[in-house]
Amino acid sequence: MEYNVKSMKAEEFIHDGEIKDTVRYAEEHKHDTALIDQILEKARLRKGLSHREASVLLACDIPEKVEEIYDLAEQIKKDFYGNRIVLFAPLYLSNYCVNGCLYCPYHLKNKHIPRKKLTQEEVAREVIALQDMGHKRLAIEAGEDPVNNPIEYILDCIKTIYSIKHKNGAIRRVNVNIAATTVENYRKLRDAGIGTYILFQETYNKENYEYLHPTGPKHDYNYHTEAMDRAMEGGIDDVGIGVLFGLDNYQYEFAGLLMHAEHLEAVHGVGPHTISVPRVKRADDIDPTDFDNSLSDEMFCKIAACIRIAVPYTGMIISTRETAEVREKIIRLGVSQISGGSRTSVGGYCEKERPHDTEQFDVSDNRTLDQVVNWLMRAGYIPSFCTACYREGRTGDRFMALCKSGQIQNCCHPNALMTLKEFLMDYATEDTRRIGEAMIESEIGNIPKEKVRQIVRERLVKIAEGDRDFRF
């Protein structure tokens, strides 16, 4: 079997031999300053790097070069995403699961956690609670269980979520994180109007993957790894990939992740919309130290910086699995989306106290959404609740083309300010509102086109008067 980026077979586009060669090559060249300078020079063109080039940067430990990597990642992040951070929340629909994933508390053999599946009334209550926090964008999550969580159940939930209009609230984009499925089911999800389809690879190492997923449909490495190709065949333009860092060694995962991105770009003409970088966390009967591939916060941040440089047009997501300190550092280096005020338990948003019995993992950042918004603004970021792109048909290659030309800035910046204004009017505490109003006022000046600036000013007045959902 040979490495072939365009192959539709998992083991050919995620080729074990190519990954091992890449890791070896990176290790051998990690002090080769001439090569590193050459790679950094290429990276400065902002057109991305190959998995091999990026792996050399990741391996490099020459302090001045590492500084250069961080500075470049920060600069690329500023160029493509400005100072905006998009906010979302996960919504756990069901923890019924037939798989045996060794790192996840929802595994079938765990008999002492209560199993719960939201009814449509409960979904509605959760959505109202999320809207009352100020959320506009959700990622729905469910275990894999063809009997309890069939695709029809997921589709019903999506319909319910989009239908709830409570006060000024609305969920305008539903991203979906459910198990690998068929082309036909992906088509149904597309028709239901989802945003991004997200599926984490967990680990790209096939042998370890099979060990970590001993039972259930998820055991099938090829079916799981080829899922994004089926999703795209089913008409889903925006897909989100990721690995669960800590399960295997990070060098292997990093090369695999970029090879997956290269494969999607080569075959479908469009790379992943987002890359997530979760790390294994403690949960019910899960001890992360059982997987001895944990990585330091420092290396974790370096991975994010190298991803930013390697795929400048791909959004990067960090969840509340990470502490506020790590999130602050990593946001600067390239993350464009974060979750806030999250509950990782089924039905968690309706509970006064954070429930732990059905939690998928321990949350490290326990702040409310208002506190996260406040913190972002104090650190100089514009919290954005924008959902405009896919609603305006800017998905897949159309999104990428706009992104590459820099045109996307003309939409994203004003949309961020207008959705922030909605949040300030409807959900913010007094202190957050005060900081936010000042931020909007100063950021309007950064809209390049006078005409757009004027429209934004008019719309901000209308939002203050009660109108909602303006977008470019």
When the beta carbons of 361 and 390 are compared against ligand SAM, the nearer one is 361
Does residue 283 touch ligand SAM according to CB under 6 A? yes
**CA-CA distance, 60 to 63, in Å (whole number)?**
9
To ligand SAM, the closest distance from the beta carbon of 381 in angstroms equals 25
Query: Under the criterion CB under 6 A, does residue 321 sit at the interface with ligand SAM?
Result: yes
> Least separation, in Å, of the C-beta of 342 and ligand SAM?
12
231 touches ligand SAM by CB under 6 A: no
Q: Measure the CA–CA gap between 442 and 439, rounded to whole angstroms.
A: 5
Establish if 172 lies at the interface with ligand SAM (CB under 6 A).
Answer: no
Using CB under 6 A as the binding rule, whether residue 244 contacts ligand SAM is answered as yes
* The only residue of 18, 53, 144, 226 in contact with ligand SAM, by rule CB under 6 A: 144
Query: How many residues sit close enough to ligand SAM to count as binding (CB under 6 A)?
Result: 21
What are the distances in angstroms from CA 33 to CA 81, 251, 445?
30, 20, 42
Between 146 and 406, CB nearer to ligand SAM = 146
Identity of the residue, 118 or 425, whose beta carbon is nearer to ligand SAM in the bound complex? 118
- According to the binding rule CB under 6 A, does residue 245 interact with ligand SAM? no
Cα–Cα distance between 245 and 259 in angstroms, integer? 16
Residue 446 CA to residue 453 CA, distance in Å, equals 9
Q: Which is nearer to ligand SAM, 200 or 223 (CB)?
A: 200
Which position among 26, 76, 89, 104 is part of the footprint of ligand SAM (CB under 6 A)?
104
Q: Is 218 in the site for ligand SAM (CB under 6 A)?
A: yes
Sign of the Cα torsion 151, 152, 153, 158 reads positive
Residue 185 binds ligand SAM (CB under 6 A): no
* Closest distance to ligand SAM from the beta carbon of 83 (Å): 28
Vertex 320: Cα angle to 129 and 199 (nearest 5): 90
Q: Is 29 in the site for ligand SAM (CB under 6 A)?
A: no
For residues 57 and 34, what is the distance between their CA atoms, to the nearest angstrom?
Answer: 12
d(CA 373, CA 134): 10
226 binds ligand SAM (CB under 6 A): no
Q: Which stretch binds ligand SAM (CB under 6 A): 28-36, 173-181, 371-379, 414-422?
A: 173-181
Taking CB under 6 A as the binding criterion, the range among 26-34, 63-71, 275-283, 443-451 that sits at the site for ligand SAM is 275-283
**Closest of 299, 288, 364 to residue 325, by C-alpha:** 364
> What is the DSSP secondary-structure string of 269-320?
S---SEEE--B---BTTB-GGGSTT---HHHHHHHHHHHHHH-TTSEEEE-T
Max CA distance (Å), the chain:
64
* Close Cβ partners of 319 (under 8 Å, ≥ 6 residues apart): 90, 276, 278, 338, 339, 342
Question: Which residues of the chain form contacts with ligand SAM (CB under 6 A)?
Answer: 103-104, 141, 143-144, 177-179, 199-200, 202, 218, 244, 278, 280-281, 283, 286, 321, 360-361
